[in-house]
A and B are shown apart, each in its own frame.
Chain A
Amino acid sequence: MTSYYLHFSVEEQHDHEESPLSGQPDQVKSEDTQQQIIRETFHLVSKRDENVCNFLEGGLLIGGSDNKLIYRHYATLYFVFCVDSSESELGILDLIQVFVETLDKCFENVCELDLIFHVDKVHNILAEMVMGGMVLETNMNEIVTQIDAQNKLEKSEAGLAGAPARAVSAVKNMNLPEIPRNINIGDISIKVPNLPTFK
């Protein structure tokens, strides 16, 4: 499925895309094509109505008819995966749900700004789920356990030396009245009624 992912936010529209891109591994994608793909994907996804299906075909940029876009829309965010025909469509929809729920757990009530400011962390979480374009783990508890263990390891490495840096960063964040905590994704824990969990 994926050869690499990129991560993007269009603030004007308050949209956010997470797009593991489908992989012709031999195809070198320059930064320009990458941006073009994101723009086109955003263009395609953002004009879709609420009550349509979550699958999108077409778009030459994403690599031919074998590939399709599968997306989910949460409040101001779009999560878009690009997969080939070896993946089950509903399975990927569920994977997105697992991803969002995992983000919610790891960031404690995730909001859009968390994702914008902590792109690296989002990447690390995604890396526990999808590796080199293939689905690695779908069990949320397992993912969260591994992420927690890695964070712990990171903290222990920082040790005393990390303390002042953390303090400074805390101070920096305090000066940030504009971080509105209230754009939480309201319906994140509400599953779409006819799409129960896929385990």
Chain B
Amino acid sequence: MALKMVKGSIDRMFDKNLQDLVRGIRNHKEDEAKYISQCIDEIKQELKQDNIAVKANAVCKLTYLQMLGYDISWAAFNIIEVMSASKFTFKRIGYLAASQCFHEGTDVIMLTTNQIRKDLSSPNQYDTGVALTGLSCFVTPDLARDLANDIMTLMSHTKPYIRKKAVLIMYKVFLKYPESLRPAFPRLKEKLEDPDPGVQSAAVNVICELARRNPKNYLSLAPLFFKLMTSSTNNWVLIKIIKLFGALTPLEPRLGKKLIEPLTNLIHSHSQHRDLTGICASVSVLISLSSGMPNHSASIQLCVQKLRILIEDSDQNLKYLGLLAMSKILKTHPKSVQSHKDLILQCLDDKDESIRLRALDLLYGMVSKKNLMEIVKKLMIHVDKAEGTTYRDELLTKIIDICSQSNYQYITNFEWYISILVELTRLEGTRHGHLIAAQMLDVAIRVKAIRRFAVSQMAMLLDNAHLIASNAQRNGICEVLYAAAWICGEFSEHLEEANQTLEAMLRPKVTTLPGHIQAVYVQNMVKLYASILQQKEQAGEKEAAQEITQLMIERLPQFVQSADLEVQERASCILQLIKYIQKLQIKEVPVAEEVIALFAGELNPVAPKAQKKVPVPEGLDLDAWINEPPSDSESEDEKPKTIFHEEEQRHSRHRQPEIDEEELARRREARKQEQANNPFYIKSSPSPQKRYQDTPGVEHIPVVQIDLSVPLKVPGMPMSDQYVKLEEERRHKQKLEKDKKKKKQKKEKRGKHHRHNSLHTESEEDIAPAHHVDIITEEMPENALPSDEDDKDPNDPYKALDIDLDKPLADSEKLPVQRHRNVETLKSPDSEVPLVEKKSKKPKKKEKKHKDKERDKGKKKEKEKKVVEEEEEEKKVILQDLHYFSSCCYLLLSLVCCLGTVQTAESIPITSFLNLTYDIQGNLQNDSQVTVSVIFENKSTSFLKSMELNVLDSLNTKMLRPEGSSVHDGIPVPFQLPPGISNEAQFVFTLQSIVMAQKLKGTLSFIVKNDEGSTHEKLDFKLHFSCASYLITTPCYSDAFAKLLESGDLHMSSIKVDGISISFQHLLAKICFHHHFSVVERVDSCASMYSRSIQGHHVCLLVKKGENSVSIDGKCNDSTLLSNLLDEMKETLSKC
């Protein structure tokens, strides 16, 4: 056997390790895949062996292969095996592999929970560290829920290395398990003031990350961050805080005012010594300033000035950051950025793509009516020059964004815009064909005056479709044909050479286009056909009419054969229709009117969110079945998905070709009537601009003066430039005219020409649009809800973290503590009975401190009783667990931490007016301070005000008073108490020595105000500072504990208490609870416990239980402290 093992380990030496694998892969460049599959086979063999070192080596190699893109999820279980190795070396390999390949879908991940928990509580800090690092990469909601409490315990670990990791990972836990945020938040907040800079920065990091998503919940932290900002020397922290303020200032204007001075100083000081630190900080400052201050022109001016310096810098990084910051300012103060247009246009020519993209972004906010054409022209030049599709696509979207922003506010000449769009179609390989198409449709539908021009351009596009659709499959630009076909069909009355266009649409090449485009083609060629038919019939050219019908019948079958269902369906439908028309034509029956009637009526643009915004009427259940659901077989013949936008409206159209015009008008009238009475019909709004659709007549289309100077439409020629020139001339002419007019008649205003819905600035009022255009606003239902809430993504993972953190914690809000499943079933008498006894003996005067501050008197007692009971309940469960699984001492640790917020409190004598309850808590950060929290409860029916608390200081213990006040002054309580209300105030005491318990005398003076008047009252009380209140529950691991005991510099003392009848578990819980100890280890009826004082004294206890007695041996750095502690403990225990 031994021989075998030796042999095994020698074999192992010659196993391939990671370096060999890498070397092998480099040597097998030609047949890499084959070599790797060989290696994977070897690895599979290695994983089958029992030796953990072999397994770890295999997993290590797998991690490398995963990096090369090979799937290693099949080895997930082996990875878990390596994670659970006892040696750190292997554990680290396992966790690394897990962090690389585990994700939420990995099913074995739930097997890791206990392993991770064990590692988290490992005495070796690096085991804990590596577990935290791994967990941060693959935490799932389940893991987060189960481990939240363990991680929270680690947040107060003694080692800063663990603390900082635990703090940081909490963010991931919050994301996955949002319920943990509120219980964990107080401790997280505490860590902002951790003595270790690493931990502090981690806490800042987490809170900033949280606040970035939901800033309003973190407003209350502003003062704390303000303090940190002015005191911190760590630039990482500083920048994070400044960014946080950037998010907070819009919510709280007062904060902005307060910040402006320190931030301005920061900028000034940093721009003097031009170091990276300073610039980096000042850039962040600038950004946050700009987003926060609504009306602080001086500081904005300063920002923009400094940014200009950055942008002009030769360092490309600074240039980039300057532009980035500028775009943030642009959002709030567009005016101040606009003055730097020259600089930004200059950046468009930069050789660096990142900088050009940034500059592009800024352009969006700088356009005006005056410069739009000029800017777009510049961009078009860039489009031509641009290499690389990403940048070109970006340019394209930007051009469209800039032109279409705020309802085409800046466009004065739509012909120019259409020609820009047409020019853009010459871009090859762009992904944004659909964007251009959407713009074409939108403009043609909404700007009536432009339709004639648009139709002529679209006809040209259709004619040159072969250029656009050369390689239709991967070319996104062919989408524009969709728009072109639709526009030509729908507005065919404007088409000059309809025949030619129709022929272009019937070309065989069309069948290579994507299905949805062909479908639109088919539909719209009928529209075209109808209008041609009408033309010919009116002109009396019967033969020409029959010719065109013949053409349709000849060419349509190619669409009937289409593989696309939609195309096929439409084509066969239409083919039959046209065959029927042909029959009628042969009989010389005039058909054109009836065919035209197929497409009567006009389409209106509908706002994209219109449907969503209609409120659901009361009593209407949208989820209820109208009819019983059909059987499965029926539901399967669904229509294919290719439905184009307009289909909805088209349903309302009349399809029967038989009805004549009169009948049509009658029906339309009737339908309108019906719609008017139907509350569910989405009516067009009654604004005058939109009424045109009720009477689809030519007279309502504004008359367009088509400028005869419009250049000839030569296909493929850039034309937009000419518009720019024309526009300039036109403007010049206009100006001259205007000047003349002004002289004559100053009062005349030109406001009439202003387009609906557009905002004009003073300077722009001079430019009148080239055509009198009417932009139809998109339809919205009358009773639409104005809210925009639907913009939010319901799946946003950060939405769940939108939690109010200032509300006090409710009783139910605790992190789940691991409990053993079989607790309920195991009912052993010795754990059950004493609990009942204890409950009955429980001294009623003890009250639990509770954070809920405002509740009424009656409820309070009841609630508190409930709290007590709940705690008992929890203790009971844990005690039972302890009994059966005494080795799991970490359970109790976590329990103690969980209970840490509800500590023993003592009552100060009750008067008829007021009940004071106080609790003393030590503070690890400051070794000579304790905080006394006092709950004031008004038990009278009078109003209590002007409360002032004073304590007679002793030499050792002094109340911390505001500077400048004498030792005899009291501290005013910062609130008043209406009857029945309670509230909490905190007072800080400084101490020199903590080895002795102390009692301080104090007085509370207050004014009682009721109907009879007000009286001045006084209440004397005593504050008892027990030695236990200086102790802070600190977890300790058994090996550290053993070392501590061996060190020999501890004093020893012991006590023995007789007549103890309660169970040992119960007894331990009592010591933990009242004296702030934690259990280190427990064996049978013997347990070691540990605690630490705020001044760093270690206190170790060995508790042994005899028949009816308990003996406690204590060891402590200070003998006086120890004996006092033991005395207090004796007192507690003798009450049992």
- Residues A131 and B284 in contact, CB atoms below 8 Å apart: no
Contact of A132 among B26, B172, B352 (CB under 8 A): B172
- Residues A196 and B168 in contact, CB atoms below 8 Å apart: no
Kindly list chain B residues whose C-beta atoms are within 8 Å of the C-beta of A11. 26
Q: Name, among B236, B283, B390, the residue most crowded by chain A CB atoms within 10 Å (CB to CB).
A: B236
Does A52 interact with chain B (Cβ within 8 Å)?
A: yes
- Residues A173 and B317 in contact, CB atoms below 8 Å apart: no
Does A149 interact with chain B (Cβ within 8 Å)?
A: yes
A137 to B19, CA, bound (A): 29
Chain B 356-382 near chain A by CB (<8 Å), digits 1 or 0: 011000000000000000000000000
Does B680 interact with chain A (Cβ within 8 Å)?
A: no
- Residues B283 and A90 in contact, CB atoms below 8 Å apart: yes
Report the nearest B residue to A193, measured CB to CB: B315
- Residues A194 and B276 in contact, CB atoms below 8 Å apart: yes
Q: Which residues of A (1-50) have their CB < 8 Å from a CB of B? A: 3-4, 6-8, 11, 25-26, 28-32, 34-35, 49
Known: A31-B69, A120-B63, A120-B93. A150 touches B126 (CB 8 A): yes
Does B321 interact with chain A (Cβ within 8 Å)?
A: yes
- Residues A91 and B236 in contact, CB atoms below 8 Å apart: yes
Kindly list chain B residues whose C-beta atoms are within 8 Å of the C-beta of A53. 316-317, 319-320, 352, 354-355
Please classify the interface of chain A as helix (H, G, I), strand (E, B), loop, or mixed, using the class held by over half of its residues.
mixed
Report the nearest A residue to B211, measured CB to CB: A86
Report the nearest B residue to A56, measured CB to CB: B354
Contact of A86 among B136, B198, B209, B277 (CB under 8 A): B209
A95 to B924, CA, bound (A): 32
- Residues B236 and A138 in contact, CB atoms below 8 Å apart: yes
Contact of B67 among A7, A56, A161, A169 (CB under 8 A): A7
Contact of A150 among B67, B88, B104 (CB under 8 A): B88
Contact of B235 among A123, A131, A173, A198 (CB under 8 A): A198
Shortest distance between the CB of B965 and any CB in chain A (Å): 41
Chain A 155-190 near chain B by CB (<8 Å), digits 1 or 0: 001100100110011001100100000000000000
Contact of A88 among B10, B87, B176, B280 (CB under 8 A): B280
- Residues B208 and A86 in contact, CB atoms below 8 Å apart: yes
Tell me the count of chain B residues lying within 8 A, CB to CB, of chain A: 88
- Residues A35 and B137 in contact, CB atoms below 8 Å apart: no
Known: A138-B236, A158-B89. A198 touches B320 (CB 8 A): no
- Residues B96 and A172 in contact, CB atoms below 8 Å apart: no
Kindly list chain A residues whose C-beta atoms are within 8 Å of the C-beta of B239. 88, 91
- Residues B280 and A161 in contact, CB atoms below 8 Å apart: no
Does B175 interact with chain A (Cβ within 8 Å)?
A: yes
Chain B 189-210 near chain A by CB (<8 Å), digits 1 or 0: 0000000001001100110110
Does A119 interact with chain B (Cβ within 8 Å)?
A: yes
- Residues A116 and B22 in contact, CB atoms below 8 Å apart: yes
Chain B 122-154 near chain A by CB (<8 Å), digits 1 or 0: 001010011011011101000000000000000
Report the nearest B residue to A47, measured CB to CB: B388
Does A76 interact with chain B (Cβ within 8 Å)?
A: no
Does B486 interact with chain A (Cβ within 8 Å)?
A: no
- Residues B357 and A57 in contact, CB atoms below 8 Å apart: yes
Known: A6-B67, A53-B355, A124-B92. A90 touches B280 (CB 8 A): yes
Kindly list chain B residues whose C-beta atoms are within 8 Å of the C-beta of A26. 104, 797
Kindly list chain B residues whose C-beta atoms are within 8 Å of the C-beta of A30. 71
A182 to B971, CA, bound (A): 72
Report the nearest A residue to B387, measured CB to CB: A47
Chain B 1002-1015 near chain A by CB (<8 Å), digits 1 or 0: 00000000000000
- Residues A120 and B96 in contact, CB atoms below 8 Å apart: yes
Does B169 interact with chain A (Cβ within 8 Å)?
A: yes
Contact of B320 among A55, A58, A117, A134 (CB under 8 A): A55
Does B1076 interact with chain A (Cβ within 8 Å)?
A: no
Kindly list chain A residues whose C-beta atoms are within 8 Å of the C-beta of B34. none
Does B187 interact with chain A (Cβ within 8 Å)?
A: no
Kindly list chain B residues whose C-beta atoms are within 8 Å of the C-beta of A199. 234-235, 277
A93 to B14, CA, bound (A): 42
Does B103 interact with chain A (Cβ within 8 Å)?
A: yes
- Residues A154 and B105 in contact, CB atoms below 8 Å apart: no
- Residues A131 and B26 in contact, CB atoms below 8 Å apart: no
Kindly list chain B residues whose C-beta atoms are within 8 Å of the C-beta of A118. 18-19
Kindly list chain B residues whose C-beta atoms are within 8 Å of the C-beta of A172. 19-20
Known: A53-B316, A149-B126. A135 touches B236 (CB 8 A): yes
Does B64 interact with chain A (Cβ within 8 Å)?
A: yes
Does A54 interact with chain B (Cβ within 8 Å)?
A: yes
Does B243 interact with chain A (Cβ within 8 Å)?
A: yes
Contact of B209 among A57, A89, A134 (CB under 8 A): A134
Does B1066 interact with chain A (Cβ within 8 Å)?
A: no
- Residues B276 and A195 in contact, CB atoms below 8 Å apart: yes
- Residues A34 and B19 in contact, CB atoms below 8 Å apart: no
- Residues B67 and A119 in contact, CB atoms below 8 Å apart: yes
Kindly list chain B residues whose C-beta atoms are within 8 Å of the C-beta of A138. 201, 236
- Residues A176 and B23 in contact, CB atoms below 8 Å apart: yes
Kindly list chain A residues whose C-beta atoms are within 8 Å of the C-beta of B139. 132
A13 to B19, CA, bound (A): 21
Kindly list chain B residues whose C-beta atoms are within 8 Å of the C-beta of A134. 136, 168, 171, 202, 205-206, 209
A176 to B26, CA, bound (A): 13
Chain B 794-812 near chain A by CB (<8 Å), digits 1 or 0: 0001000000000000000
Does A144 interact with chain B (Cβ within 8 Å)?
A: no
- Residues A165 and B12 in contact, CB atoms below 8 Å apart: yes
Shortest distance between the CB of B512 and any CB in chain A (Å): 28
Shortest distance between the CB of B236 and any CB in chain A (Å): 6
A34 to B26, CA, bound (A): 21
Kindly list chain A residues whose C-beta atoms are within 8 Å of the C-beta of B206. 134
Report the nearest B residue to A127, measured CB to CB: B133
Does B100 interact with chain A (Cβ within 8 Å)?
A: yes
Q: Which residues of A (56-107) have their CB < 8 Å from a CB of B? A: 56-59, 86, 88-91, 93-94
Q: A88-B243, A153-B88, A161-B9 are in contact. List 11 more A-B contacts (CB 8 A).
A: A3-B137, A8-B68, A31-B70, A52-B354, A118-B19, A134-B168, A137-B198, A157-B88, A157-B89, A168-B13, A198-B277
Give 12 CB contacts A-B under 8 Å. A53-B317, A58-B357, A88-B239, A90-B283, A91-B280, A118-B18, A127-B130, A132-B136, A134-B168, A135-B236, A146-B161, A172-B20
